[in-house]
Amino acid sequence: MTRNVFTLAAVFVAFAGGMVMSRVNDRAEDLEVTDGTALHAPAANLSQARTPSTPAGLAGAGAAGLPDLSSIAERAIQASVNISSTQQVAVDPFFQMLYGDVPQSQTSMGSGVFVSPDGYVVTNSHVVGSRRADIRVTLTDNREFAAKVVGIDPESDLAVLRIDVKGATPLPWGDSSKLRVAEWVLAVGNPFQFNQTVTLGIVSAQNRHDPQLATYNDFIQTDAAINPGNSGGALVNSRGELVGINTMIYSRTGGYQGIGFAVPSNLVKRILDTLVKTGEVIRGSIGNLRYVTVTADQVRNAGLGNQGGVYVQGMYKSDPAYAAGIRPRDLIISFNGTPVNEQSQLQRMIADIKIGSTARVEILRGGERRTYEVPVVQMAPPR
């Protein structure tokens, strides 16, 4: 079946008012994010936190020759939490005309995992939604706590919360770069509000950055069952280490079809440390461009040239890229000398470049190569 970036549905696996939140055709989630002051925590390097290593033989072979992961699952459950986020949403104008200015709220349900003994929790930004949301965190012993939002990073779909609890039991960090295809992993979370659910699968791909996903991250792909409500939950390897945060699924039904995606732990640690220290992640930008990955065949068929790259669908005249000379219908083929093959690759390169520097962007316009020097500005932070 031919791949088409315009037909894939990537489903974020958190509940929102009983409905699955999905992203189709590279459209961002319609989540209200409001202004708020970041809650600064001590600049501790939480990614260095460790719990005692898993005893040798903990994941030994069971009677059927498969690994016995029961002890690991018990530890992963103790480190996992359920999260509910309630926030005000825009009222339909027709409803408002009939009933007046009646406040409307929406509650999403997801999962999270402790990353320090003093109450720091990592989850997905689409589970939290807004800094002003009312966040409640429920532990495995059914204690419920109000949570403070330490920071939200929609680009990586990660958020950090903190609750007033001592003696939490975080999982040790695993090195996601060392994952191997077909390695056993467990997914822990709150699917369909069935608390503390554990599912088993394998790593299907280590660094999935397929252009169909069109996101900032490289993902761990797994066939462990992930469903609505699993968002923000732990992906754990057979040594009991946290190797990822479950984020979304590929699905035509909204439910499990054997293709799930998790943010790798190495990226989670980096975002976690930054959010705890500063409350936000600063990234580079060349403007609010809308673009999509195109193949060489698509470019040839459109009469735009003979090479694939990233097609600029639209932009604002206030964008630095526009001021530098880039226009809609241009095809970006290299960035600072590195060939550009897909949207997510370009997003990462732009985001990681130093603010205030100048980027060299090579484009094809009507089959003609042109190069522009584009100033890099700070990406606007989430509101």
**DSSP character at residue 116:** S
Domains 9-39+70-90+101-278 and 284-378 share a fold: no
| Structure confidence at residue 332 (pLDDT) | 97
Q: Which of 10, 65, 72, 14 is nearest to 200 (CA)?
A: 72
Confidence class of residue 329 from pLDDT cuts 50, 70 and 90?
Answer: very high
pLDDT of residue 49: 44
Cα 215-147-81 angle, rounded to 5 deg: 70
Rounded CA separation 220/263 (Å): 6
Task: Say which amino acid occupies 38.
Answer: A
Q: 61 - beta bridge partners? A: 67
Instruction: Using alpha carbons, select from 351, 349, 352 the residue that is nearest to residue 362.
Output: 349
Residue 319 has pLDDT above 60, yes or no: yes
Amino acid 184: pLDDT: 97
Q: Which whole number is the average pLDDT over 324-337?
A: 97
Of 110, 81, 137, give the one whose Cα is nearest residue 193: 110
Supply the pLDDT for residue 26.
28
Which of these ranges, 166-170, 197-201, 213-217, has the smallest mean pLDDT?
213-217
Please determine, for residue 13, whether its predicted confidence score (pLDDT) is greater than 80. no
**pLDDT confidence tier of residue 223, bands split at 50, 70 and 90:** very high
Ranges of each domain in the chain:
9-39+70-90+101-278, 284-378
Considering only residues 96 and 219, tell me which one the structure prediction assigns the higher pLDDT: 219
Which tokens in the block code for residue 155?
A: 């680009």
Percent of the chain at pLDDT > 70 equals 78
Average pLDDT, the chain: 83
Bigger pLDDT: 24 vs 302: 302
pLDDT surpasses 60 at 8: no
Per-residue pLDDT reduced to its tens digit, 81-123: 999 999 877 666 666 666 666 667 788 899 999 999 999 999 9
Closest C-alpha among 315, 367, 307, 365 to residue 339: 307
Rounded to an integer, the average pLDDT of 16-27 is 35
Q: List, in sequence order, every residue forming a beta bridge with 195; answer none if it has no partner.
A: none
Does 24 have pLDDT greater than 80?
no
Fold classification of 9-39+70-90+101-278 (topology level): Thrombin, subunit H (2.40.10)
Condensed to tens digits (0 to 9), the pLDDT of residues 144-162 reads 999 999 999 998 999 999 9
- Answer positive or negative: Cα dihedral of 335, 339, 340, 344: negative
Distance from C-alpha of 46 to C-alpha of 49, rounded to nearest angstrom:
5
Least confident of 162-166, 168-172, 226-230, 306-310: 306-310
Residue 86 contacts residue 133 (beta carbons within 8 Å): yes
pLDDT for 36 equals 29
**Using CA atoms, how far apart are residues 360 and 305, in angstroms rounded to an integer?**
20
Q: Which CATH class is domain 284-378?
A: mainly beta
CA dist., res. 88 & res. 182, Å (int): 43
pLDDT for res 344: 85
Per-residue pLDDT at 27 exceeds 80? no
Task: Look at residue 213 in the predicted model and tell me its pLDDT.
Answer: 65
Provide the whole-model pTM: 0.77
Q: What is the pLDDT of residues 128-141, one digit of tens each?
A: 999 999 999 999 99
Residue positions annotated with a catalytic role: 126, 157, 231
φ, ψ dihedrals at 272, nearest 5°: -60, -50
Q: Band the pLDDT of 367: cuts 50, 70, 90.
A: confident
Stretch 15-43: mean pLDDT: 32
